[in-house]
A and B are shown apart, each in its own frame.
Chain A
Amino acid sequence: MALVMDPAGHEIRALQKAAEWEGKRVLEIGCGDGRLTLRLAAFSPKHIEALDPDPKRIRLARRNQPARYARRIAYHVGHAEKLKYPPGTFDTVIFAWAL
């Protein structure tokens, strides 16, 4: 399907304004195929853990991941109701179309 999301860039501009991203540890819940993850990675966070419950989407996200972000982004199959991280791990958590 030929689909272009947000060609005007409103979404990413709003996210940039919403928070300080540089050097932060970020958890993205509902990353899907990584569309938004890659945009967030451009804000220079220290690391992004990106979760989605759908293994197919996670496989796609891993395939789409540019080599330059290989250490900055880690994609995992996971559910928001059961996060496998210790308390106090992240500076920012984003529910990306997932709540």
Chain B
Amino acid sequence: MVHALQETHRVLKPDGILIDLRPAPAHRRLGIGEGKHWQFVGQLREALDDDYAANAAVARMVREGYFRREKRMRFQLDRVMDTVDDVRDFLADLDPRRNLPSHIWLLERLERRRTRSPKPDKIAVRGPMHLAVLRKLELLPRSSKTGEPMILAILADASKAETLLNNLSEAEFDLNDVSVIMHDIDLRNKIAKDAGPLQGMKPEKLSDALRKAGISQDHAQHCSDAVTHSKVVVAMKTDPKYESAAREMFQDMSAEILEG
């Protein structure tokens, strides 16, 4: 499911929307009559594992920054059938997907109720539906080592980078999550240690390494050019919870943040 949602994210335009429409995780109820005249006969005992798994997959995509939830709706949906045989066919069709136990008891109860009725009422299976609207978000670049999102930015010079590191440290961000890439390795070693998602990176290999990490060719080349021209590339692994705080600190240093 997560892979399908990632594919969806890929084929959506920036700011596009994903609509997730499916039965809510609740047992459907069967009754006779329609609309306001519907009367409960019994409850289906279908497995709900797939529904919970789908909820979990969507929640993960939201947590990982692929989508933002915009709307949620719940409504009732009826499937109306004419005969008990129609219900039998409906249950048979449902079985492979829902691992349905025997519902003979329910069909028999339904037969009895309909026999008592002077005219054969319609039969309706009723259940809640879930509709969610999710807005596509642009992804942060991801670390090739851990797959975690990272902030990737270019700073004007070493002094800005040093101030940024001090600010991050004061805000209790872990500097082991931060990589600083500069042309002058000695100067880099004075202000920062070799750590973070680009640990061990040599400036001349930066473009290729960023490409391998899924960064666009333009962004990767832009970073490489920046380092050649004495600018500083900073990559920082972020927990989505604290990403906006970290971003603000980069912005305070007039950093150019590269989006995925």
- The distance from the CB of A38 to the nearest CB of chain B, in whole angstroms, is 15
Question: Inside 8 A of A94's CB, which chain B residues have their CB?
Answer: 18-19, 21
B149 to chain A, nearest CB (A): 18
Cβ contact of A97, chosen from B14, B22, B58, B83, cutoff 8 A: B22
Total interface residues in chain A, CB < 8 Å: 38
Confirm or deny: B89 has a beta carbon within 8 angstroms of a beta carbon on chain A.
yes
Q: Do most interface residues of chain A lie in helix, strand or loop, or is the interface mixed?
A: mixed
Do B82 and A2 touch across chains, with their CB atoms under 8 A apart? yes
Size of the chain B interface, CB-CB below 8 angstroms: 41
| B residues in contact with A92, CB < 8 Å | 12, 16-19
Complex contact A95–B21 (CB within 8 A): yes
- Other-chain residue from A1, A10, A86, A95 in contact with B89 (beta carbon distance below 8 A): A1
Most A C-beta atoms less than 10 A away, residue of B1, B8, B73: B8
Query: Is the CB of A99 closer than 8 A to any CB of chain B?
Result: yes
Q: A95 to B129, Cβ gap below 8 A?
A: no
Interface flags for A1-31 (1: CB within 8 Å of B; 0: not) read 1111111101101110111000001010100
A6 touching B77, Cβ below 8 Å: yes
Q: Is the CB of A99 within 8 A of B54?
A: yes
- Check A97/B10 contact, CB under 8 A, given A6-B78, A90-B16: no
Residue of chain A at shortest CB distance from B35: A8
On chain B, the residues within 8 Å of A90 by CB distance are 11-13, 16
Which residues of A are found within 8 Å of B16, using beta-carbon distances?
Answer: 88, 90-93
5 further A-B pairs in the complex, CB-CB below 8 A; given A14-B75, A29-B4: A85-B11, A89-B11, A90-B11, A93-B8, A99-B1
